Amino acid sequence: VFERLGPSLFDFLKRNKYCPFPVDLVREFGRQLLESVAYMHDLRLIHTDLKPENILLVSSEYVKLPGCKSSAIKLIDFGSTAFDNQNHSSIVSTRHYRAPEIILGNRLLCWKMRMWFSLCFFVLYEGEALFQTHENLEHLAMMERVLGPLPEHMIRRAKKIFPERLKTKLA
């Protein structure tokens, strides 16, 4: 049994017609979330599904935006948590927040990939996900448009894992 918590950050956004959070509040949520991730990192654990749906406001009484001083959050859903550098048999994380390494077939999870969870801050600040797609190659193309070309070592590794599918598409 757990204490009663408030809505997820995603549900709160949805209830408020996807109106973004103020930057000071995003910063405060970010600080708390980074502390949570750092604590898990110290334990060599990786939360594989960090997203606004898995970050809850502590208070269940919010109808409007909380102030920065009363903006406590809690991270939930540790069901797919993995140890650092552990192979994972299936794709982990929700697509909108998935690291390019995972899209390219890497199942060895490491904390560097988890920095992609910071994309959830974009959702809080803008009110929508940065990469909205349901297809791997389109997702990678969107990433490259925003962040620049994928590193060569990632592409080489992907070609080894998916030689036929990626021969022409990532050449």
Three-state SS letters, 67-132: CHHHCCEEECCCCCCEECCEECCCCCCCHHHCCHHHHCCCCEECCCHHHHHHHHHHHHHHCCCCCC
Q: How far, rounded to the nearest angstrom, does the alpha carbon of residue 71 sit from its chain's CA centroid?
A: 20
Percentage of the chain exceeding pLDDT 90: 21
- Which pLDDT tens digit goes with each residue over 123-135? 888 888 888 888 8
- Which pLDDT tens digit goes with each residue over 77-91? 988 888 877 776 666
Task: Tell me the domains of the chain and their CATH numbers.
Answer: 9-166 (1.10.510.10)
49 is catalytic: yes
What is residue 75's predicted lDDT score, i.e. its pLDDT?
A: 93
The first and second tokens of residue 128, run together, are 């929508």
What is residue 171's predicted lDDT score, i.e. its pLDDT?
A: 46
- The pTM is what? 0.78
Q: How would you write the pLDDT of the chain (171 residues) with one tens digit per residue?
A: 778 899 999 999 999 899 888 888 888 998 999 899 889 989 988 888 888 999 999 987 765 666 656 689 999 998 888 887 777 666 667 888 888 888 887 766 666 666 776 777 778 888 888 888 888 889 989 989 988 998 888 888 777 666 555 554 544
Which of 11, 42, 49, 84 is catalytic? The answer is 49
